[in-house]
Amino acid sequence: MSVNHPAKIGKYEIQDVLGRGGMGAVYKGFDPAISRAVAIKTIAKSSLDAGELEHLLARFRHEAQVVGRLAHPGIVQIYDYGEDEELAYIVMELVNGKTLAEHLAQHANYDLREIGEIVRQLLDALGHAHAAGVVHRDMKPSNILINRDGGIKISDFGIAHTEASELTQHGDVLGTPHYMAPEQFLGLPIVVATDLYAVGVIAYDLLTGSKPFVGSTATVMQQVLNERPADPSSRNPALSPAVDRVLQRALAKKPEERFQSAREFAQTFRAAIEASLGQPAPALLDAARLIQAGAAAQAAAPAAAAGEGAISLDRSVKKARLLVIDDEERILNALKSMFRLRYHVFATTDGNKALEFMKKYQMHVVISDQRMPIMPGVELLRQAREISPASVRILLTGYSDLASIVGSINDGQVYRFISKPWNNQELQQTVAEAVTIALELAETKSAPLKLPQSMSAGVLVIDNDQEIFRVAKELLGSRCPVSYASDLDAALAALQAQEIAVVLADVEAGHEDTTAMLKLLKQEYPQILTIVVTSAADAELVIHLINEAQIFRFLNKPVNVKQLKQHVEAALERYLAFGETPQLLRQHQVREAGAVRSSSVGQKILAGLKLLRGRWFGANAKR
């Protein structure tokens, strides 16, 4: 039997064919350099007419460039792009699962809560893309992959529009008819609300079993432009009128009458789903009653029924409250057993229930798994941060998904990563540190700060070349000083010459001196925030930096200018907040890295950092 695929494409070994289309194929490949399975999407140049070849290849390259700068667990990650005489190809994350279209074709049935989670994940990923200036323009079930663990991944940004894109012209009609908004049929400008319209169609189909409009392309177009869709509740009596209101707004004819952001859509849709469910199932209710009643001694509740464990309340001692979320009962049981004597431990397998519980009761420490079917840990911790910003968040995971790790820092501000299987002593020490911080922060009141038009504390860019520095200078130079350093000596000199609030550092393989400086800088001066810029795909390096240098944000290369500005301004705000409320520094302290301190490079860095003492921002430094 002959193998109907090439042996190699570029450096990648080809193992199988995942699918074929009119212009090329998608292969399952293997990257021997880092032992990683990948998917490789190809275009066969011979399949294209000479007149359309360059335009379609430009669009293909555009897809790689657009998605390559998006780092989100809900978006299929792009690793590489290449061309040879026969093919153009994009190397991307291999997703083990099926498309939503395949699931629907196999008559998959989703309950209301599952539909709510699918739509939430879609909107969260789209919101990330929209914040980066990217509109997908072809959202449909066949472009939505579902992992075996229930995670959603958006793919095929092939006709995506960016703020700087000139690959499509006014009047182009792009999309898939059943999911196209009125402005797409009319060839009008495409906006964020265009993607949200498509999500509205997908949600409508999931909730009712049919699309808002059906028929031929001409029929659908006529209905989309002129008719109001039937209320979803008329097709599914289990739906509340709140669902009707949400989806009618999502499917409004005019873009300005729809939701203007993915987050607004997600929040409103979630409330509508909860209204359809009626009173939510009692999540952690027995534990809540213990808090309300101040019950003493022992109180036990069946973990299988409500997801919480037995809790011992000792009213004579102030105990911290730990909320643990993991989809494995054995993990929950192990953690409850480890911590129940020292803390009030609440546990559940359901992320939605955990968030509802946090809205009512303050949790000091939140420990979440990363990979869960109902709600990914990264998303749970992001929402936990919004609900309870004073809580200290820990990610407990056995799965190194780089995009998720970066998301957990940028969106969830995770304090530490603990790997499964964990070391009991390390976990207990980390939780004890988190509890100490959380109990202090619980008594701390800090008002939100607004950045002034100008400030004396500045930004230090550490990079081999000046590209990022030039961008940062243009974006922030009118607000604060922006300095540049090409190496360790120049960085120490810049720190001595100027009050620095934020360090923006390029960290790649071989940048050990920069990594060492970031660790020691955070030990000595925890109030200085660090933003790392990297193209590295090494999850272990990222986790290492988070745990030992408390990186504030991560930016992937090529750097998105809008995200760079947002992250640096957020860091400047946090720096000013430290001055107003020094207790907040506790969340940014790290353990002493003995090996780094004792090395020759470490001694050199420490000698340089000692010269910083005496500045106002050094008042809180370790002495």
Q: Do 259 and 269 form a contact (C-beta atoms < 8 A)?
A: no
CA separation for the pair 87, 92 (Å, rounded): 16
- Cβ–Cβ under 8 Å, residues 399 and 69: no
CA distance 256 to 258: 6
Per-position b or e across 33-44, b if 16+ CB within 10 A of its CB? eeeeebbbbbbe
Alpha helices in 340-376 (DSSP H): 351-360
- Residues marked as catalytic: 138
Token output for 38? 């990948």
| Cis previous bond, 582, omega within 30 | no
Contact 454, 480 (CB under 8 A): yes
* Total residues found in the chain within this entry: 623
DSSP 143-185: GEEEETTS-EEE---TT-EETT--SS-TT---S-GGG--HHHH
18 token code pair: 């995942």
* Cis peptide bond upstream of 229, omega within 30: no
What are the phi and psi torsion angles at 402 (to 5°)? -60, -45
